[in-house]
Structure 1
């Protein structure tokens, strides 16, 4: 009986340790994913501010060149309208969704590869 009890104890300890290892691996992967997400969002916010200020600067410069208080803003707005329509058409054809799916799969593979020892 002592051998069976010892075997059951070791087996239950092994299962407990494997469960803790799995939990720690999941926490590590989620932490890496969140770190990538925070870094991406930080860059996206900085990029958005950069885009807004560059757009305002370009609009003002075009206003100066065209000697008009509003044509520069209309030209830059028209450019953004064209970009919006192109993105809308790409969304309707599911190309952006496919590209994002490939990007996220590659990102998740890279995150899991970074965690391997």
Structure 2
């Protein structure tokens, strides 16, 4: 009877350790995914600032060329309106969502492959 109890104890300890290992692997993958997300978010914010300042510079340059205090800003705003409409229609057709899903699946597969190495 004592051999069976030892075997049951060893088996339960093994199952507990496997569960802990799985939990730690999941935490590691989530941490890597969050690190990629934070890096992407940082780049996106810096890119947004760059876009804003370049847009203001282009608007001021167009104002100077067109000799108008407002026309350059309207042209740049019109460009962004067209871009917004294109993105809106792409979102409605789910093309961007499918692309983002594929991107995240590829990213998670890459992280999993790096963990295996």
TM-score of the two chains, using structure 2 as the length reference: 0.95
Quote the Cα distance in structure 1 between the aligned partners of 2:101 and 2:20.
Answer: 31
Number of aligned residues: 117
* Separation of aligned partners in 1, 2:98 and 2:20: 36
Scaled by the length of structure 1, the TM-score of the pair is 0.95
Relative contact order (alpha carbons < 8 A, sep ≥ 6): 1 or 2 greater? 1
Alignment correspondent of 1:37: 37
Question: What is the root-mean-square deviation in Å for CA atoms of aligned residues?
Answer: 1.0
Query: Does residue 70 of structure 2 align to residue 82 of structure 1?
Result: no
Q: Tell me how far apart the structure 2 counterparts of residues 92 and 2 of structure 1 sit (CA, whole Å).
A: 66
Unpaired runs of at least 5, structure 2: none
Which 5+ residue runs of structure 1 have no aligned equivalent?
Answer: none
CA deviations over 1:12-67 (Å, ceiling 9, x no partner): 11011101101100110110011011001000100000000000010011111111
SS in 2 for 1:103: helix
Structure 1 stretches of 4+ with a deviation exceeding 2 A read: none
